[in-house]
Structure 1
């Protein structure tokens, strides 16, 4: 073994560490320790590569002397984490006129010429950055050298040390480039991340006998199930086998030729290496190998590429086989990876004709015919056809159409726009803020500059995981909720130490939440129950009522509908807690805004159009989201909350008789002052007493507040005196704390984040410093006044791992998120609990040093 201050030969006992030489160098050492046939390799440390970038080269004569005399070399990057990337591999360093002549004698002239031309081209284009056009097409070594000399005004170098020097300098400088730095930082790498390099003796893959190169892995990249996959290229080098048309399969396959047909012993050796690396490296690996005259060499092994579904299946299988612990299996899976299992996805093998891009507002993918109205969506769904609802922006009036659609696409809006929030709750893919769209709903046309015009009925695909809108119908991959996913969720439930509830507005939402194993419902938005066509008419009659008596009469008709909703919801949740938010939106959202809708409403109410128009105009507000909504409606139009309270209590009695006892949690929205809570609480308590007296049945309920205004957070102490729980609605709290419209902020938010005004979009990731401080003040003051106060978050941020970390640290009891975010939240919560349990002990992973 040769070790110098600048480089180290990789042996079983060499001082090679991931933190100093990178992931590839450490993995190669592990392969050596497993007695696998790894060619002789030298590792250059991060410090050495930094020195090379600065102009100081190691002793290259000494480095080349480590290898067999006349050996060709390759150089590969070795970043600390595989995902951080690095410059591409350079092969066949040391190819000179003399070496080409030697290879012609041993391997044939054609093979020698192909290697020499390939290296000249790679050296010129990839190392010295010459124009690739001059080296395209069929070429001999003489012509390639002539082109090089014409470009460089000097002969092609014949000194292997000079060639190696240029390769090392090129790769070191490429790592320091701006583009490379930004790309790896996007993968989570620190700004000062180092690059190691490994110099390896070439196993050519070219010979008179069985020779070639290949890549093999032993788990399906799509499902993670045990399966030998990969490609093999006779008389080939590097990873070309993955893309060459002449490449063969590894194991016998009815689709074509395979390595196993002629070399069963070598394939058996590869399978043995796969089993060994899985057991000892504790990971499913992808192995790069060569055969040279039948002799196997293993050049490299990396974590095998995999989909999110395969990621889960592999981690669970490793744990079930006792190779890793359950805790480590959970820690290996990024929580948002689960989105790929919960929703259909565009196949990674599909061609993508991207029409436009927007904000990836709700994950998953769906294909359907374009429709421009909720009514059209319902009509198409009734005919059994899939549709995509395309709107400038959605409103509560579009709810039924959103239920009928397969996906939602909007020109305006952001991550917390109406379309995005509802889509996530329904589990529908959504792309919002697709600002390049030109939508003409009247003419039923959709255009993007430079593309053809799309009409209603044309087929598009919405990919809410990437924010892309695709032309046509690419193949989709179905979700996978059983097997390994179910096992992982069981493990997460056992490990987590914070509750996870779901936001669910309908029995269908509750059923989905139960499918994911929630601890209850943390937010039921009752207003969504009123947009059914039959109920909407009665709701509008209530809005148009001239006096409290008429208003109460209309609400009496809504009462049995609400009661039935709550009975079904309580029945679905089987005694688990259900938090019901009382009516929140401004009344104008239930009224039509177009001429046809106003005329239809006038006919339904038997009123003149002018009177209907006047009433609608009287309800308009300059800023309705800060106006007559939430508790303000409950105080000034108390009949609405009284009807809802009565429906809740009567449903509680009936559901408790049919099943587990129900203790409903009633939440008052948009509170700013203690007196608001006192007024509403007094009326609700009176309704409760009346229902108990009338039915002769006792029941229990809890009354709490949704903290959405900064003042409510600051005055939480006095509000808590009348509240059993406080649930922070971070959507509105963020909006009010920043003074930003969540629907309009998308127009400038990306620029703000890029310029460093905000570290992240505060509507996508909870602002811990600002909004979080308000929440901490509210939590502290609330619990000081009432130690048994239950605390939670029910805004859209609640399913984000960073929010869950904040909530655990703050002592919150639970988080509540959209049903399809529940698995993400559960896994994130489990990971945080596991990390706390293991600190300061580190949990081992493939990327960490182990001796």
Structure 2
């Protein structure tokens, strides 16, 4: 009779239920779990594995539903006097499972017999351990009942048996079949419990994930001669460096060597203490050989669980070495360089998001986390510093050489200088695409936003945690932008790891990927970071951030207050050399790589003060009456400035701004091209929704280009394009593309306008929306491929139809997400652009997508990398 099992495998029902682990047994991870399959591989390698029987997922599900296990068939595979252990075998070892139960079959008769062969002390210890494990994990008794048992030996065993009988009102079971049946039933039910399901789900397991169980003959780690147990691995789990690690403990079982490390021995010779290599050199050499064989044949770094029984070595199990992200990457590189796995397989083994932990300082694993509150993990990494409540205070702290955490209700462009000076940012409001989050990711600055659990009292300069603790300016906190935690104090940290393995790994990714990756960079520091991470140019340079420096803010405000074009030009003439210098430095850093510069975008009110003190300072700077300044600022207010006079609308209404920027770009192009590789700048018009807007701006930009070319007696070329961030621009992309060399889709604003959501305020209710499945994910965090994605597809299709050579890209915050990159590849985009610290993540994600396509379609050739 055939029975369909998980994974679509059809095997004999009896074989799927109870299968001896032999070299040719029908065992697979989807039907029996990863542990059972690994043990079969060890058997095939002729390693000394004790006899083992595997129960498939179907058998365990039936046991959980109340069907009695077929203990007679299971026990028929083992000698009558053999003690057994049962271990879980889930499809993915990371999904966990109930703990192992050892020494099943131990009873009064076996105790007497083993006392003759192993010695009374060892036999008594085996029996006591089993009674304790059975009572706690099978009978579900309180483990504290054993705390009152003092001493060891026969007396302790007798007290344990009496305690069991008192609690259960029945004698401890003596029949091996009864014991095994109860153990199997307990482990099967534990896997199906609600708590276990929730824990598995948190690790990415499906709700219907199956559990297998393996029943294995015990190899005693107690008795005469050299007996004990231990674990071995050939790499360090933290950094991935090749070295023998693990411990061995005499007279022990299972993983006790790790739990009782003070008494355990090192494995190889070590100046810190005695080792297994010194005590039993031949056994150590055999163990090392087995470990190396497993590494080579199982094609991964394995942790080997072993037991010595009177000097004889047994391999009980092998599991993938647990590894931190930096260790995982180095392990993958080492295995590929040794030819054990291919480069493509090495690339596929690393989750792209795991690279974030290599790019930033992190709270050390195992460090005590004194949590104050939790918010949205907006920019990865962790940093500790003293609380400050203003950008000016952050700058002052930096000048004193002190680390500061900038705390704001929400940040604005006027806080950028303070963000540059701070080591981390914490805000009360905001989501994944709020100002603080976007700038934080661009700077590589740890950032937690939307920390509404904290009470922000900006006037008193203090924070109050949910538990009542109060933090004042100067107190030390830690912002963990990877987890979203806000911690009191300064826990231990681990540094970023951009070593040779990291560079090699990403070099392989570049060889495999077929879509370009650029960076969003607003400053020379951002550009240098992008260059260090091998970005293929700058896909978005937001020029407005250059105007908030102290020496630029006054002429910017003078320009805003000017009444005539001549006065505006006079103020902008003071900004021109500063802008030109910015662009020259960007071009020099990028060394001939493309630099896409977005013309001025934000509404002008962002450059004006709103408080009384700021208005007074502005009146002094402009030599105007305070009443005039106040009236003028109020008159410039808009009901919804993000949908008002900004972007191309401002460029058309106040054309002097774009003319100044175009001149600065072209003069910088001439200057930088004389010093190095020819520069071909890309000029991007923001917030376009109509073809005529592009025509008007293009006419002015072309005129400035011609003037600069004549004045400088220099020839240069440039590309003019459009930032597509309104739904209408997507729908009319065919018209717009006729005047644009490229269409760069800005998905931050496009998502905002498509949904009618404020990206800065949506964080207040987005969690509830996702929890109640209104949205599958936060659309500002994960690209909405159904709604926003349809607009992108329409825009790309219509743009290419009108102009086949138009370059297509995505430059919103979604650009660094693997899901977004998958969409862009499918839609035929040339490149994506993302924050500098997301460039490595995008490079790996793009490579994995190309490799996955190649695996699915072996005949498909990987195209050359575009977007360079």
Q: TM-score range by the shorter chain?
A: over 0.9
Q: How many Å separate the matches in 2 of 1:408 and 1:246?
A: 46
Which range is displaced more, 108-117 or 691-700? 108-117
- From 78, 90, 93, the equivalent of 1:82 is 93
Spell out the pairing of 1:148-547 with structure 2 (5 A cutoff): 148-244=164-260, 245-547=262-564
Structure 1 partner of 2:742? 725
How far the C-alpha of 1:108 sits from its partner, in A, is 4.3
Q: How many Å separate the matches in 2 of 1:87 and 1:716?
A: 57
Structure 1 partner of 2:67? 56
**Under a length normalisation based on structure 1, what TM-score does the superposition of the two structures give?**
0.96
Q: How many Å separate the matches in 2 of 1:441 and 1:258?
A: 59
Whether 2:34 is the aligned partner of 1:23: answer yes
Structure 1 partner of 2:111? 100
Cα deviation code 1:279-307 (max 9, x no counterpart): 11111111111122222111111110111
Cα deviation code 1:506-561 (max 9, x no counterpart): 11111111111111110000011111111112111211222222211111110110
Cα deviation code 1:790-835 (max 9, x no counterpart): 1000011111111111111110000000111011100111111111
- From 15, 18, 24, the equivalent of 1:13 is 24
Structure 2 partner of 1:846? none
- From 120, 130, 141, the equivalent of 2:141 is 130
Spell out the pairing of 1:131-146 with structure 2 (5 A cutoff): 131-138=142-149, 140-146=156-162
How far the C-alpha of 1:451 sits from its partner, in A, is 4.7
Q: Secondary structure at the match of 1:534?
A: helix
The question of whether the paired residues in 1 share the 8 Å contact of 2:87 and 2:99 is answered with yes
What is the count of residue pairs matched by the alignment? 841
How far the C-alpha of 1:665 sits from its partner, in A, is 0.8
- From 112, 121, 127, the equivalent of 2:132 is 121
> CA 1:468–1:719 in structure 2 vs 1: closer, same or farther (change >3 Å)?
same
Q: Secondary structure at the match of 2:266?
A: coil
Which range is displaced more, 724-733 or 11-20? 11-20
Cα deviation code 1:345-388 (max 9, x no counterpart): 11113222222211111111112222111111111111112221
Q: How many Å separate the matches in 1 of 2:609 and 2:251?
A: 71
Structure 2 partner of 1:43? 54
Q: How many Å separate the matches in 2 of 1:126 and 1:615?
A: 75
> CA 1:5–1:511 in structure 2 vs 1: closer, same or farther (change >3 Å)?
closer
> CA 1:743–1:273 in structure 2 vs 1: closer, same or farther (change >3 Å)?
same
Q: How many Å separate the matches in 1 of 2:816 and 2:705?
A: 34
Q: How many Å separate the matches in 1 of 2:659 and 2:50?
A: 79
The question of whether the paired residues in 1 share the 8 Å contact of 2:35 and 2:93 is answered with yes
Which range is displaced more, 576-585 or 264-273? 264-273
The question of whether the paired residues in 1 share the 8 Å contact of 2:373 and 2:486 is answered with yes
Spell out the pairing of 1:788-803 with structure 2 (5 A cutoff): 788-803=805-820
> CA 1:352–1:266 in structure 2 vs 1: closer, same or farther (change >3 Å)?
farther
Structure 2 partner of 1:566? 583
Q: How many Å separate the matches in 2 of 1:332 and 1:721?
A: 43
How far the C-alpha of 1:713 sits from its partner, in A, is 1.0
> CA 1:780–1:100 in structure 2 vs 1: closer, same or farther (change >3 Å)?
same
> CA 1:136–1:670 in structure 2 vs 1: closer, same or farther (change >3 Å)?
farther
Q: Secondary structure at the match of 2:714?
A: coil
Q: Secondary structure at the match of 2:463?
A: strand
Q: How many Å separate the matches in 1 of 2:143 and 2:15?
A: 37
The question of whether the paired residues in 2 share the 8 Å contact of 1:410 and 1:432 is answered with yes
> CA 1:783–1:156 in structure 2 vs 1: closer, same or farther (change >3 Å)?
same
Q: How many Å separate the matches in 1 of 2:175 and 2:452?
A: 56
Structure 2 partner of 1:781? 798
Q: Secondary structure at the match of 2:331?
A: helix
**Under a length normalisation based on structure 2, what TM-score does the superposition of the two structures give?**
0.94
Structure 2 partner of 1:848? none
Which range is displaced more, 723-732 or 691-700? 691-700
Q: Secondary structure at the match of 1:238?
A: coil
Q: Secondary structure at the match of 2:265?
A: coil
Whether 2:709 is the aligned partner of 1:692: answer yes
How far the C-alpha of 1:589 sits from its partner, in A, is 1.4
> CA 1:28–1:400 in structure 2 vs 1: closer, same or farther (change >3 Å)?
same
Structure 2 partner of 1:593? 610
How far the C-alpha of 1:422 sits from its partner, in A, is 0.5
Unmatched runs of 5 consecutive residues or more in structure 1: 843-851
Q: Secondary structure at the match of 1:748?
A: helix
Q: How many Å separate the matches in 2 of 1:239 and 1:615?
A: 75
Q: How many Å separate the matches in 1 of 2:664 and 2:524?
A: 16
Spell out the pairing of 1:667-746 with structure 2 (5 A cutoff): 667-746=684-763
Q: How many Å separate the matches in 1 of 2:293 and 2:546?
A: 58
How far the C-alpha of 1:212 sits from its partner, in A, is 1.8
* CA-based RMSD: 1.9
Structure 2 partner of 1:849? none
Structure 2 partner of 1:847? none
Cα deviation code 1:393-426 (max 9, x no counterpart): 1111110111111111112111111111101101
Cα deviation code 1:752-795 (max 9, x no counterpart): 22222222221111111111111001111111111111100001
How far the C-alpha of 1:247 sits from its partner, in A, is 2.9
Q: How many Å separate the matches in 2 of 1:89 and 1:743?
A: 49
> CA 1:255–1:599 in structure 2 vs 1: closer, same or farther (change >3 Å)?
farther
How far the C-alpha of 1:159 sits from its partner, in A, is 1.7
